[in-house]
Amino acid sequence: MKLDRYELKSDDQLTTFGFLSEGPKGKIEKVIQFSLVNQHDLYNLSLGDKNSLTGDIDDMIVTDNGDSEKVLATVVAAIYAFCDKFPEAWIYATGSTTARTRLYRIGINKYYDVVENDFEIFGQTQNEWERYQKGKDYEAFVIQRKKS
Amino acid sequence: MKSILELNDKKIPVVRTDKSLNKYSNVVLFPEKVEKAKKAFEKAGLPDLKKKGR
């Protein structure tokens, strides 16, 4: 399965990535960041838009640039790149809103067949982790690169 | 020699370094999300890799 995606750039540490979303709303700079949570090897994954006027990164904005599938595929690519450097990392992801978390779930479902062979994928329900099940609602997700 | 397009078809993408992104390297851009992640791991711990799927 070939996934159309944007060209990724990153900082020297390979923890912050950037790409340019292109669509009806024009070119929008997007930033993906893997932030270390307080424990070793636990990271939070977030995606936001760069405000072209202020330079601020906003994860609440609704871009609606008609390229959500390509954006999701680019985020998946960034996860592969990040885990290539940090193979032990656990990556936590949740949406800024319930609706956005649902979008993430739809995205995981879409790419599940591609990524399930490479990643351990769990969903959070009521403060517990369980193996991800397609079609089930989760509050958050956590993944780790499978050991080869 | 493989072209960039061929390499980008791979799961692990070609990633070019962009020095302008270094300004974010030591900045937490989404502190609320990090706090949420911290709480989730505090409450639920790490997933059990031995746990089988259904």
The whole-angstrom distance between A130's CA and the closest CA on chain B is 7
Architecture of domain A9-145: 3-Layer(aba) Sandwich (3.40)
- Per-residue pLDDT of A101-131, as tens digits, reads 888 888 889 888 888 999 999 999 988 999 9
Closest partner residue to A11 (CB to CB) among B24, B33, B38 is B24
- Per-residue pLDDT of A30-78, as tens digits, reads 999 999 998 779 999 999 999 888 888 888 777 788 898 899 889 999 9
Query: Which residues have CB under 8 Å from B14's CB, separation 6+?
Result: A8, B4, B7, B8
ipTM of the modeled complex: 0.85
pTM for the full predicted model: 0.90
Q: Report CB contact under 8 Å: A9, B43.
A: no
Q: Report CB contact under 8 Å: B16, A57.
A: no
Residue A126 corresponds to which amino acid?
A: Q
